[in-house]
Amino acid sequence: MKLPFFHNPAKASDGREGGASDNPGLPLMGGQIVPGVTDTTRPDETRDESFLTPEPEADARGAPAAQRVPAVTAASGTAGPTKIMARDVSVFYGEKQALYDVSLDIPDKTVTALIGPSGCGKSTFLRTMNRMNDTIQGCRVTGRIEMDGNDINTKAIDPVLLRAQVGMVFQKPNPFPKTIYENVAYGPKIHGLTTNKTELDGVVEASLKRAGLWEEVADRLHSAGTGLSGGQQQRLVIARAIAVNPEVILMDEPCSALDPIATAKIEELIDELRERYCIVIVTHSMAQAARVSQRTAFFHMGRLVETGNTEEIFTNPRERRTLDYITGRFG
Amino acid sequence: MIWLFLPVLIALSALAFFGGREIASRRAGASAIKAHSRPSQHGYYALIWVGVPALVVLLAAAIFSGPIEQSVMQAGAPDSIAQLEPFRRDAFFNDARLVSAGQQPHQIWPQALAEQLTQEARRYGDLSRLLSLGCIVGALVAATLGGLFVYTRISPTLRARNRVEGWIGGVLFTCSVVAVLTTLGIVFSLLWDSLRFFQSVPIAEFLFGTQWSPQIAIRADQVGSTGAFGAVPLFAGTFLIMLIAMLVAAPIGLFSAIYLSEYASRTSRAVFKPILEILAGVPTVVYGFFAALTVGPAFREAFNGLGALMVGGPLDGLGQYLMLVQNQMALVAGAVMGIMLIPFVSSLSDDIINAVPQSLRDGSYAMGATKSETVKRVLLPAALPGIAGALLLAMSRAIGETMIVTMAAGLAANLTLNPLDTVTTVTVQIVTLLTGDQEFDSPKTLAAFGLGLTLFLVTLLLNIVAQRIVQKYREQYD
Ligand SMILES: Nc1ncnc2c1ncn2[C@@H]1O[C@H](COP(=O)(O)OP(=O)(O)O)[C@@H](O)[C@H]1O
Ligand SMILES: [Mg+2]
């Protein structure tokens, strides 16, 4: 199943609503980040917490607050048309509503960051996009989610096939207790994407290369995937997701279990993957959102408060709550 | 008799507790030093020192007063009684005790002895009163000494809290030592009697002999020469029944565990899980008569009917054989034992599959795998070591299971792997060797210990290996 490519320029009126055509140019590459800037900001991730500590004197939307906002260093601007369109999405866990009428456009070939205090429904929203909520008992999704213009919640869509198209990376690296090779070959095997061993070898190698892991594991493809370091495991899991050739990659706090160096590697990787995939990343680190994402959506108490280009959200948010959150006043 | 003193002892201990507490708080109040322990901890300390010595005296009295009475009575008995045969003398003293307690004697004694009886009964009564009194006095003295000791000890610097802690640790330790020692005792007696058995029957013959007919070996000089103690048919029977049981229990138990942990909705899980637990609690003797009275006859009739259809046809020989199949066969015992093991296998496997982290399931589903693909390619490989351990534990239970096979497998020690044949198992033979009137040290009886030891070693080995595997597996996901 391949959903037809969807392109709807009419929707893209306002960049802040997730427009598709506000940046019609070529995808911006990772190389466009000024190297010096990247280098000086990377060490920041060790100081995320202190960075977010509120300073008592400044409480208005003035210059002092702006100083506390992480500097946006990610390449700016969306690169592709709308890939996923959510309209009035609500999610219920049993009686309890976790998400209220979320409408959001997610552009292709762009990193979209979902931020917000914990429990605000970021993961829940992420799971609506590959219908992983189906696997949770008592979970009910209402509203409309379109991928390339096709509703993904209709009977005609097989969630199993949808998930092959929408890869997902979790908070805790979860390689299967198999070899590195078998981990990456898992998807191609269950979906029958390759016909022989040579092809499979090729897919495994290409995926590992794209995930930036090939150099480190080429000589031990047949040792246990669980034996790798946390950062390597997370890249292995990304390679596993890439191997089925998805169009979208969802990442749920992919770096929160990793050390700063491994985090930097994953962030670099995300920036590279942006060329090919539509990436949605949940992060609790404001600094990370500023480093890797072009678009940011701020969630609070199950509602989407504000969305727009990362630069704008971080320098000139429209909502008071957004400012309070990104300056670390709550969360 | 002396147990009537127990309430007094309890009252004394309570008194010690309150007294100790009171004294401790007074002394702490009078002292400039800050007390190390709280008054009630001193109270417990006093309680221990008053209660425990007295209790020890009572226990000693309960254990030793009987023998002491016995020997004093016998030593002081008049000649006419001392000359009686031992068993009549015991009966006489027994009656004397009854009479002294105001009951009727069991026997009617001849005139001379009957007179003696009333006399002895009186002496008996005096003696036991004296002993009880001594014991109570002893307990009181012990309690008083303990109380005095505590009285001198209680002070703000006494670490009563830590001492009480030490006593509690000591009591807990004693309990665990009792558990370990009794187990060790059983193992050693098993070893000891097996050694005696292997003195009369060579180990090699026991382990490799193919003839088992202990009933022949009534006379000691026949043992060994008749070759009646070859246990191979028993091992084969045990193995055959275990195999059949595992063939039933392993797939059904495992698959139901997979259903419960992966497929079942919360409501059906809430129904199935308790039912399986109830099944696990059915006494094996119930499975036993279910096998003997229901399953056995049903299988026999089915096979006999099938045989009747075949007779005269091209499979005449097989038909003839099937028509002669009896109630008691390995298949019935094995199948029913398998049913008994299903809840066991299923609940162990369910635990193990549930211990596989949810993140692996999520990972697999997020790759677009279906449920069965996830089970087959991720969960089972991940849970395999644990499941293997669970199956080994089930095997060990199958081998040690007694009731079902006693009722359904039969007694004939046939060396066969034919599930329709009557076979017998190690446990069944132990039961038959030891029930009924037996001379305790004939090789026939001792053979039970040899079998018991073998069984113990095999199940011990299985359990150790299984526990190891399961534990390793648990650590892997901690
Ligand atoms: N499986 C679940 N069952 C019931 N409630 C859930 C479940 N998952 C999440 N929730 C609830 O939904 C809300 C949003 O959770 P989540 O999406 O995980 O938040 P976030 O990822 O932003 O921290 C929370 O209140 C949480 O308690
Ligand atoms: Mg979350």
Write the DSSP symbol of residue B229.
B
Burial (Cβ within 10 Å: 0-12, 13-18, ≥19) of residue B178: exposed
* pLDDT (average), residues A205-213: 93
* Residue-wise pLDDT tens digits, B177-212: 999 999 999 999 999 989 988 888 888 888 888 888
| Pair (B356, B455) in one structural domain | yes
Distance CA B412, CA B333 (A): 14
pLDDT at B468 over 50: yes
Question: Which whole-number Å values give the CA distances from A149 to A15, A83, B350, in the listed order?
Answer: 19, 8, 43
Residue B1 is predicted with a pLDDT of: 59
Distance CA B155, CA A300 (A): 62
CB A152 within 8 Å of CB A146: yes
Distance CA B112, CA B65 (A): 29
* pLDDT (average), residues B157-174: 92
* Residue-wise pLDDT tens digits, B328-354: 889 999 999 999 999 999 999 999 999
| Pair (B195, B303) in one structural domain | no
B99: CB partners within 8 A, 6+ apart: B105, B117, B118, B121, B124
Residue A140 lies in a domain: yes
Residue A262 lies in a domain: yes
Greater model confidence, B478 or B86: B86
Mutation target vs B (from A139, A160, A178, A247; most B CBs, 10 A cutoff): A160
Residue B245 lies in a domain: yes
Q: Which domain holds residue B65?
A: 2-158
Q: Which domain holds residue A141?
A: 68-171+250-326
pLDDT at B301 over 60: yes
pLDDT at A92 over 60: yes
DSSP run (H or E) holding A278: strand A278-282
Residue A331 is predicted with a pLDDT of: 64
**A240: nearest Cα among A183, A176, A181, A168:** A183
Greater model confidence, A185 or B279: A185
* pLDDT (average), residues B17-24: 92
pLDDT at B436 over 60: yes
* pLDDT (average), residues B276-298: 90
Residue B100 is predicted with a pLDDT of: 84
Q: How many CB atoms lie within 10 A of CB A311?
A: 19
**Which atom of ligand 1 has the smallest separation from the CA of A125?**
17
Residue B415 lies in a domain: yes
| Pair (B138, B176) in one structural domain | no
Residue A206 lies in a domain: no
Residue B434 lies in a domain: yes
Q: Give me the CATH number covering residue A95.
A: 3.40.50.300
Residue A304 lies in a domain: yes
Residue A300 is predicted with a pLDDT of: 94
A187 in B contact zone (CB under 8 Å): yes
| Pair (B42, B180) in one structural domain | no
| Pair (B166, B249) in one structural domain | no
Distance CA B408, CA B337 (A): 10
Q: Which residues of A are less than 8 Å from B370 in CB distance?
A: 160
Residue B224 lies in a domain: yes
**Which atom of ligand 1 has the smallest separation from the CA of A116?**
22
Residue A256 lies in a domain: yes
Residue A175 is predicted with a pLDDT of: 94
Segment 260-279 of chain B within 8 Å of chain A by CB? 265-266
* pLDDT (average), residues B297-305: 91
pLDDT at B422 over 70: yes
Judge: A163–B366 Cβ closer than 8 Å, yes or no.
yes
Ligand nearest to the CA of A252: 2
Distance CA A275, CA A109 (A): 6
Structure tokens that stand for A296 in this block: 């940011």
Residue nearest to atom 20 of ligand 1 (CA): A119
Residue B98 is predicted with a pLDDT of: 86
Structure tokens that stand for B454 in this block: 């073998």
Structure tokens that stand for B234 in this block: 């028993």
Question: Which whole-number Å values give the CA distances from B226 to A289, B94, B221, B412, in the listed order?
Answer: 88, 47, 9, 18
Last residue of a domain, one of B200, B221, B256: B200
| Pair (B96, B113) in one structural domain | yes
Distance CA B429, CA B446 (A): 12
Q: How confident is the model at residue B408 (pLDDT cuts 50, 70, 90)?
A: confident
Q: Which residues of A are less than 8 Å from B363 in CB distance?
A: 170, 174-176, 237, 240
- ipTM comes to 0.78
* Residue-wise pLDDT tens digits, B96-119: 888 888 888 888 888 888 888 888
Percent of chain A scoring above 70 in pLDDT: 78
| Pair (B176, B107) in one structural domain | no
| Pair (B179, B264) in one structural domain | no
Chain-centroid distance, C-alpha A106: 10
pLDDT at B225 over 80: no
Which residues contact ligand 1 via a Cβ below 6 A? A 93, 98, 116, 118-124, 136
Residue B205 lies in a domain: no
| Poorest-pLDDT segment among A116-125, B263-272, B315-324, B386-395 | B315-324
CB B194 within 8 Å of CB B453: yes
Q: How confident is the model at residue B30 (pLDDT cuts 50, 70, 90)?
A: confident
Q: Give me the CATH number covering residue B358.
A: 1.10.3720.10
Distance CA A22, CA A9 (A): 9
| Pair (B90, B171) in one structural domain | no
* Residue-wise pLDDT tens digits, A282-314: 998 889 999 999 999 999 999 999 999 999 999
B447 in A contact zone (CB under 8 Å): no
Residue A57 is predicted with a pLDDT of: 43
Structure tokens that stand for B352 in this block: 């193990």
Count of domains observed in chain A: 1
Mean pLDDT of chain A: 81
Distance CA B473, CA B476 (A): 5
* Residue-wise pLDDT tens digits, A37-46: 333 334 444 4
**B253: nearest Cα among B331, B371, B340, B333:** B340
* pLDDT (average), residues A5-34: 38
pLDDT at A18 over 80: no
Q: How confident is the model at residue B147 (pLDDT cuts 50, 70, 90)?
A: very high
Write the DSSP symbol of residue A21.
S
Judge: A241–B367 Cβ closer than 8 Å, yes or no.
yes
Structure tokens that stand for B104 in this block: 């009727």
Count of domains observed in chain B: 3
Look up tokens 């429990």; give the residue: A119
Q: Give the distance (Å) from ligand 2 centre to CA of residue A122.
A: 6
Q: Evaluate if pTM is beyond 0.90.
A: no
Residue B206 lies in a domain: no
| Poorest-pLDDT segment among A125-129, B100-104, B265-269 | B100-104
* Residue-wise pLDDT tens digits, B370-393: 999 999 999 998 898 889 989 999
Q: Which residues of B are less than 8 Å from A168 in CB distance?
A: 362, 366
* pLDDT (average), residues B55-82: 85
| Pair (B146, B234) in one structural domain | no
Residue nearest to atom 9 of ligand 1 (CA): A124
Structure tokens that stand for A157 in this block: 């869509």
Q: How confident is the model at residue A35 (pLDDT cuts 50, 70, 90)?
A: very low
Residue B207 lies in a domain: no
| Pair (B182, B132) in one structural domain | no
* Residue-wise pLDDT tens digits, A53-91: 344 444 444 444 445 677 787 777 667 789 999 999 999
Look up tokens 């009186």; give the residue: B122
B325: CB partners within 8 A, 6+ apart: B299, B300, B303, B304, B307, B420
In the sheet that holds A295-300, the strands lie side by side as A166-169, A248-252, A278-282, A111-115, A295-300, A303-309
| Pair (B251, B193) in one structural domain | no
Residue B22 lies in a domain: yes
pLDDT at B85 over 70: yes
Collect contacts of B108-114 with beta carbons under 8 A, ≥24 apart: B112/B80, B113/B80, B113/B81
